[in-house]
Structure 1
Amino acid sequence: MAIHRRSSCRLLAGVLLAGCLGAGNAHAAGKHAPRPESTAPAPAQPALVFDIAPLPVTTGQLVQYILTPAGQVSGMLLADGTQVMCLHELGENLPAIVHAGEQVSVHGLKGVNLPIVRAYAVSGPRGMRIADVRPATGNVPFDSPSIGPDVPVDGTVLAPLYGIQGKVVGVIMKDHSVVYVGDANAVRLAAWLKPGASLHAIGTGVTGERGTAINAREIGPDVNQAIHIEPADAPPPGAFPGSAGYDVIPGSSQAE
């Protein structure tokens, strides 16, 4: 009886000791094991109306988001120099699926002679995809700050910045800043906007974690040669609010 009782006690003690060692090892492994990278959930979107499968696919490494002067994402710059253009909803969802330095795939229309792509769907490296499902009712205008703090940009031009119509509308700088001047100013100031040129610009815009983007009001090779230009978001010329001609509609009998 005594022998049987001692054997049972020894067996129970061994089981308890093994359990404690196993729990300790599991705790240590959990303490030192790498934590899975947290990823934002893919944005919920309506089902596609059109089949985008036949569209050309452009792949590359994301260098930076292209921002509007209000801080909205309007596209991406890839490592090979391709500029991907997105409408509002698609652009604002890009940071949820791809970050700078990661590979991205884009279903979209390629420029004929320019390094541009009009994106209709974008796939990130973690299997998430977003698509342009908005009805084709024309471009949704981005908010653009006509007033606000001045943001200076100084550095070297990396590449021309293209608009959705393929016209040059500004520049992307080597420090990733984006300077908008509008297509009319871009033609007039083409010599200052060439890749490799030194550029100084100041205007209203944003600067932060996503990057810097401004509507230039002053621009030049340096601060001493800067000239004043009409910002890209300047309202069309006309009578100022409150004046006698402000409420007159051009072409009406009042305007004659």
Structure 2
Amino acid sequence: MRRFLRLAVLGGAVVAAPTLASAKPSTTAKPAAAASVGSNCVFDIASLPTLGGTIERLLPGSQGDAIGAILQDGSEVVMPPGLAAQDHDLRAGARLSVKGLWSAPLRLVRAFALSGTPSLCASPMPEMVTAAPPASAEGTVARLLHDGDGAVNGALLQDGTVIRVPAAGARTPYLKIGAVLYADGTGYNTAYGKLVMASSLGPNRSQAIRISDEPPVPRGAPPGSAGYDHISGSVSGPE
């Protein structure tokens, strides 16, 4: 009996697919192949596409490492902490090739591993035990930055300073390309540039507002009032 083929368009490519009449029953599902020999990746990443380009600048993280990159074609690459440390040759002008996911609307790459033979995944980074010193910055927003899920979590200023904000900061009207932004908080001057983890944002210092994802603490009764020594929800015992 002649087998008939139908054409299916998948992702812009035309491929031949068997009709239901000629399709064979599916076999029992098997686990994905193990990661390449020598790879330090826990999960199989073979099915992920290879993406990349020439690095325009690396984006600093709070542990003194790089956790992202801006490519010369304008794409943003988001990397987990410890991934960039697997390649000591990463720098402006170098080629970055990763296994990851691509968001065309955001021109955003979420990297899971450095592409190679074998591919390399992130290794744990030692956490800094000292508190970050105070830091502030002011300048014009050149572009917005994102987390691995595509949510805005900061901005890159024209002078190269990276501002990172909590979700509450992303909801303010101050993160706009071309706007003048003032940020105050804590941060570091790293090998990859200045990083400010903002706790206050505004168009300038005098108009900056505090941003936090923590719920506000309700004000208590003023000193000297009847309720000043009363703790809400407590039960008074017999005197």
TM-score in same-fold range (> 0.5): yes
Give the Cα separation in 2 of the matches to 1:117 and 1:145: 30
Give the Cα separation in 1 of the matches to 2:211 and 2:129: 16
Q: CA 1:146/1:185 → structure 2, altered by over 3 Å: closer, same or farther?
A: farther
Cα deviation, 1:163-222, whole Å, max 9, x if unaligned, reads 1221111111222211111123211x1x31111111111211111322111211222112
Return the offset for 1:141: 9.5
Q: 1:169 aligns with which of 150, 153, 159?
A: 153
Q: Does 1:221 align with 2:203?
A: yes
Q: 1:81 aligns with which of 74, 85, 93?
A: 74
Higher strand share: 2
Q: Is the 8 A contact 1:70 1:206 kept in 2?
A: no
Q: Is the 8 A contact 1:170 1:183 kept in 2?
A: no
Aligned CA RMSD, in angstroms, stands at 3.3
Indicate the SS of the match to 1:185: helix
Indicate the SS of the match to 1:88: coil
* 1:98 aligned partner: 90
Indicate the SS of the match to 2:169: helix
Q: 2:164 aligns with which of 180, 184, 195?
A: 180
Q: Is the 8 A contact 1:88 1:142 kept in 2?
A: no
Larger deviation: 162-171 or 109-118?
109-118
Return the offset for 1:112: 5.4
Normalised to the residue count of structure 2, the TM-score between the two structures is 0.63
* 2:180 aligned partner: 198
Higher gyration radius (CA): 1
Q: Is the 8 A contact 2:101 2:110 kept in 1?
A: yes
Indicate the SS of the match to 1:100: coil
Superposition pairs for residues 30-45 of structure 1, below 5 Å?
none
Give the Cα separation in 1 of the matches to 2:71 and 2:98: 11
* 2:56 aligned partner: 63
* 2:220 aligned partner: none
Cα deviation, 1:34-56, whole Å, max 9, x if unaligned, reads xxxxxxxxxxx645566545422
Q: CA 1:236/1:206 → structure 2, altered by over 3 Å: closer, same or farther?
A: farther
Return the offset for 1:128: 8.7
* 2:120 aligned partner: 131
Q: CA 1:57/1:155 → structure 2, altered by over 3 Å: closer, same or farther?
A: same
Q: CA 1:220/1:120 → structure 2, altered by over 3 Å: closer, same or farther?
A: same
Q: Is the 8 A contact 2:81 2:122 kept in 1?
A: no
Residues matched between the structures, number: 182
Cα deviation, 1:53-76, whole Å, max 9, x if unaligned, reads 542232322122222234232121
Higher helix share: 1
Give the Cα separation in 1 of the matches to 2:129 and 2:169: 19
Give the Cα separation in 2 of the matches to 1:204 and 1:175: 18
Contiguous gaps of at least 5 residues in structure 1: 1-44, 135-139, 239-256
Q: Is the 8 A contact 1:66 1:75 kept in 2?
A: yes
Residue 107 of structure 2 aligns with an amino acid whose one-letter code is P
Indicate the SS of the match to 2:155: strand
Residue 193 of structure 2 aligns with an amino acid whose one-letter code is G
Give the Cα separation in 2 of the matches to 1:142 and 1:218: 28
Give the Cα separation in 2 of the matches to 1:89 and 1:223: 34
Give the Cα separation in 1 of the matches to 2:180 and 2:69: 23
Q: 1:122 aligns with which of 111, 114, 123?
A: 114
Return the offset for 1:105: 2.0
Q: Is the 8 A contact 1:150 1:204 kept in 2?
A: yes
Give the Cα separation in 1 of the matches to 2:129 and 2:153: 17
Contiguous gaps of at least 5 residues in structure 2: 1-37, 218-239
Indicate the SS of the match to 2:206: helix
Residue 217 of structure 1 aligns with an amino acid whose one-letter code is S
